[in-house]
Amino acid sequence: MKKFTKYFIGVITGAVLMFSVAYTPDYFEISKQLDIFTNIFKEVNLYYVDETQPGELMDEAVNSMLKSLDPYTNFIPEERVEDFKIHTTGNYGGIGASIRKKGAEVIITAPYEGFAADKAGLKAGDKLIEVDGKSVVGKSTEDVSKVLKGAPGTKVELTIDRNGEFLVKKIEREEVKVKSVPYYGMLDNGIGYITLSSFTEKASREIKQALKELEKDNELKGLVLDLRGNPGGLLSEAVNVTNIFIEKGKEVVSTRGKLEEWEKSYKTLNSPEELELPVAVLINRGSASASEIVAGTLQDYDRGVVIGQRSFGKGLVQQTRKLSYGAQLKVTIAKYYTPSGRCIQAINYAERDEDGSVMKIPDSLRTEYKTANGRSVYDGGGVDPDIVIEEREMGNALVSLYRKMLLFDWCTEYARTHPTIADPKSFKLSDEEYQEFLAWLGKQDFEFQTATERSIDELEEIAKKEKYDNHLKSQLAALKKAYQAMEMDDLVAHEEEIRILIEDEIVSRYYYEAGRIAHSLQSDPEVQEAVNLLGNPTEYMNVLKLVKD
């Protein structure tokens, strides 16, 4: 208890010092609440009838407090600090493979090209049985990830199940450097393509290198910058990436918080790499934070056309503050604003309903701003694309195939029986192979429930309670049978999407993540729209032109 009390006092002292240096709030109220909390904590741990766990109680108290603010203000205990660093650097020590849980099993879903797991011969679909002689069956992916990671140069022994054959792999961990740019290449008509998965500290450097490689053997006529599904990252890298396309000295983003020190303007510091090259930026609802800064700023300066769906709407800035005993606090310290003056934050966490829930800002309350050419843009709900491409719907069957890893499992079997396939841009699943998949699927535990089916089940239950089940038995049975037949039609209706996902997964087994992306671009409507637009300079300029009444 003495050890914990010392720790607790250190945390509280650090918190008070943090406030005293940066801000002058109501010190009496803060001291009063800290005193009440300290006394409650002490009394509970001393007198509660059962044995308490002070550390767990403190975690619960801190996390509940921060949860009431916003989802991005988090306490990072010492043991998770290293994981947090991975998100900002993209580097860690480990075997270099992604894993996923399926029932009680942990499955290797993708060894990273050229890293330890790949060099040791691990394959997608391998089931992890033991790590260093200890079973991992039933363990969470988080727990398994912890034991797979470690200092570069240390060794780990894995026992895997590959199609019923148990194999032992001794692997030396190494530094894994996850690329911010997992793929770049040329599309049709001299249009280049670069996808950015995250804004780590090397994001802008990797984009510049990709541009140089694309320009080496090609006459670039335009560039597609794909930020779809990019959750963001470092604010400084958002500025650096934007700087590649706009001139030196331009404001990229400004921040405003309740403290004067957060009133900052971030401007480009370097000469641009590509000031005139036509650019199309792809976004979707998974594009957030730094992605929205880049897309919104290029849009504000009419420097590029934004294509896709409305972005996530995260206009908040976080900073990490060091705490005692190696812990850290990631805290929201400001909102950010694009050059036109808009903040794209979609939710006001300061205003909550009585039940504590928050709501997105309705479109009717969004404020209009103007781009450099006078085009209308709006705050309070993410970045709206200049050209909207409706998101492809995922049928219930497709969602179930993904969740149950049935597409993944079939592709694992396919890879075991096909030593080679065509290159990523050429590979196609034949009609015969697709029929083989459907036949295989018929032997699996494949079922899914839609809202309609749930309603039928509820109707049956209500009929039983109200004693109408005998009268309605035949009708309900006929309704369920008719619906089940329609349910299978979902597979037929979404055959194209299912084929694409199968092909993407198969290609990744032979050509890794870069191959998966290269193949997926062949049937990507947003990419095709971008290629068509960039290939038509007049239409491209018309989208960006000054709007006149």
240 and 301 housed in the same domain = yes
SS (H, E, C) 137-179: CCCCHHHHHHHHCCCCCCEEEEEEEECCEEEEEEEECEEEECC
| Other beta carbons less than 10 A from residue 173's beta carbon | 22
Domain that holds residue 127: 91-177
Residue 6 falls in the annotated catalytic set: no
SS (H, E, C) 356-371: CCCCECCHHHCCEEEC
- Would you list the DSSP string of 176-217? EE--S--EEEE-GGGEEEEE---B-TTHHHHHHHHHHHHHHS
| Other beta carbons less than 10 A from residue 482's beta carbon | 10
Domain membership of residue 286 (yes or no) is yes
Domain final residue, candidates 116, 143, 177: 177
Q: What CA–CA distances, in Å, run from 479 to 449, 458, 467, 469?
A: 15, 13, 19, 14
220 and 286 housed in the same domain = yes
321 and 335 housed in the same domain = yes
Which residue carries 């310290």 as its tokens? Answer: 333
436 and 516 housed in the same domain = yes
Residue 135 falls in the annotated catalytic set: no
Distance CA 135, CA 144 (A): 10
Catalytic member of 70, 226, 300, 504? 300
Domain membership of residue 421 (yes or no) is yes
Burial of 161 (0-12, 13-18, 19+ CB in 10 A): middle
Catalytic member of 123, 139, 202, 314? 314
111 and 241 housed in the same domain = no
pLDDT of 171: 97
Q: Does residue 307 contact residue 280 with C-beta atoms inside 8 Å? A: yes
Domain membership of residue 78 (yes or no) is no
Distance CA 251, CA 338 (A): 8
Domain membership of residue 76 (yes or no) is no
Domain membership of residue 83 (yes or no) is no
Distance CA 135, CA 307 (A): 47
Domain membership of residue 544 (yes or no) is no
Global pTM value:
0.86
124 and 238 housed in the same domain = no
433 and 525 housed in the same domain = yes
Residue 307's closest CA among 277, 278, 271, 334? Answer: 278
Domain final residue, candidates 12, 35, 68: 68
Catalytic member of 289, 311, 340, 520? 289
Domain membership of residue 472 (yes or no) is yes
Residue 118's closest CA among 96, 99, 98? Answer: 96
pLDDT (tens digit, 9 = 90+) per residue, 123-168?
999 999 999 999 999 999 999 999 999 999 999 999 999 999 999 9
422 and 458 housed in the same domain = no
Q: What angle do CA 101, 106, 109 make, to 5 degrees?
A: 80
Residue 143 falls in the annotated catalytic set: no
Joined together, the tokens standing for residue 503 give 């092909």
Domain membership of residue 356 (yes or no) is no
Residue 253: CATH number of its domain:
3.90.226.10
Domain count, the chain: 5
261 and 278 housed in the same domain = yes
Q: In sequence order, which residues have a C-beta less than 8 Å from that of residue 18 and are 6 or more positions away?
A: 321
Joined together, the tokens standing for residue 324 give 């005692």
pLDDT (tens digit, 9 = 90+) per residue, 375-420?
999 999 999 999 999 988 777 778 888 888 999 999 999 999 999 9
For each of the chain's 549 residues, which pLDDT tens digit applies? Answer: 444 444 443 444 444 444 444 456 678 898 999 999 999 999 999 999 999 999 999 999 999 999 999 999 999 988 888 788 777 787 889 999 999 999 999 999 999 999 999 999 999 999 999 999 999 999 999 999 999 999 999 999 999 999 999 999 999 999 999 999 999 999 999 999 999 999 999 999 999 999 999 999 899 999 999 999 999 999 999 999 999 999 999 999 999 998 888 899 999 999 999 999 999 999 999 999 999 999 999 999 999 999 999 999 999 999 999 999 899 999 999 999 999 999 999 998 887 776 777 878 888 889 999 999 999 999 999 999 999 999 887 777 788 888 889 999 999 999 999 999 999 999 999 999 999 998 998 888 776 666 666 677 777 788 788 777 677 777 877 777 766 666 567 777 888 999 999 999 999 999 999 999 999 999 999 999 999 999 999 999 999 986 544
56 and 152 housed in the same domain = no
488 and 500 housed in the same domain = no
Distance CA 308, CA 355 (A): 34
Q: Are strands 279-283 and 305-308 parallel, antiparallel or unpaired?
A: parallel
**Adjacent-strand bridge partners of 223:** 192, 279
191 and 338 housed in the same domain = yes
